[in-house]
Amino acid sequence: MNAIISASDLANDLTGANPPVLLDVRWQLTAAKAAGEPPYDGRADYETGHLPGAVFVDLDRELASAPGEGGRHPLPDLAHFGAAMRRAGVSSGTPVVVYDGGQGWAAARAWWMLRWTGHPDVRVLDGGLPAWEGSLDKSVPAPAEGDFVPEPGTGLLDADAAAELARSGVLLDARAGERYRGEVEPIDPVAGHIPGAVSAPTTENVGADGRYRSAQELRERFKGLGVSEGSRVGVYCGSGVSAAHEVLALAVAGIPVELYVGSWSEWSSDPDRPVAVGPDPQ
């Protein structure tokens, strides 16, 4: 199953016999709270217009638990996550399409959470809301309760496993290059990267239009980063959100991958963990 869907294909599917459940996951990484300004409000944007029938999903409250020792976006309690998905109308036998404001990070987090917990048919709208050419709706739907019950899957890394993978396989750092190199760190307590990790910013997964590059282009990209056939691959970022975008790109390329959800926000919170700086992985 393809992990992404074009806007034209989604429009066709919505008129078919088994239309997908639509989840709107608009979210932005913001330091506005520290600046004394109100944080980004995805629900407010949703209420100004969304794909007809789409249900808003709050990344911070429904796709993650409260920040803490596990990082800024640790995994949510699965009972809470499952209840949120059922309220949104998600059932195991119904396809799901998720989208966000265009960056793709939040939609990918929702896609990964649903796939990791066992939903068989989830795709991300390629290009997000800006790619949609149809009408938008301001009404808030009340879908019938779904039946999806999440079960934890495999392919999850903790800090120790991520450190080991950086030595024995390929651990990709999905953050911006300047954060990887330790030149800036606007959010977390320490700048730098996990020793052995390779810089692989998510911005290089997409073209100028914000849509994913072709499977072949992505395979070539990851090959250039050291991923060969049979490589064990892991991904992390700041808090397990943009890394999900990288996981999706790897899925498009047909490459199995594991996700370190705690990511740099968890790693850097422990002063005993080593930190590398500069462009060299080590």
Strand order in the sheet with 96-99: 4-5, 122-125, 96-99, 21-24, 55-56
**Residue 194, φ and ψ in degrees, nearest 5:** -70, 130
User: ∠ CA(236), CA(185), CA(178), 5° rounding?
Assistant: 75
User: Phi and psi at residue 204, in whole multiples of 5°?
Assistant: -90, 0
Q: Give whole-number Cα distances, 170 to 5, 120, 231, in Å.
A: 28, 27, 7
What's the CA gap between 40 and 186, in Å, rounded? 17
Determine contact, residues 126/212, Cβ cutoff 8 Å: yes
- Cα 194 from Cα 198, distance rounded (Å): 9
Q: What amino acid occupies position 22?
A: L
Alpha-carbon gap, residue 112 to 263, rounded angstroms: 15
CA distance 43 to 226: 40
Closest CA to 199 of 218, 224, 219: 224
Residues with active-site annotation: 237
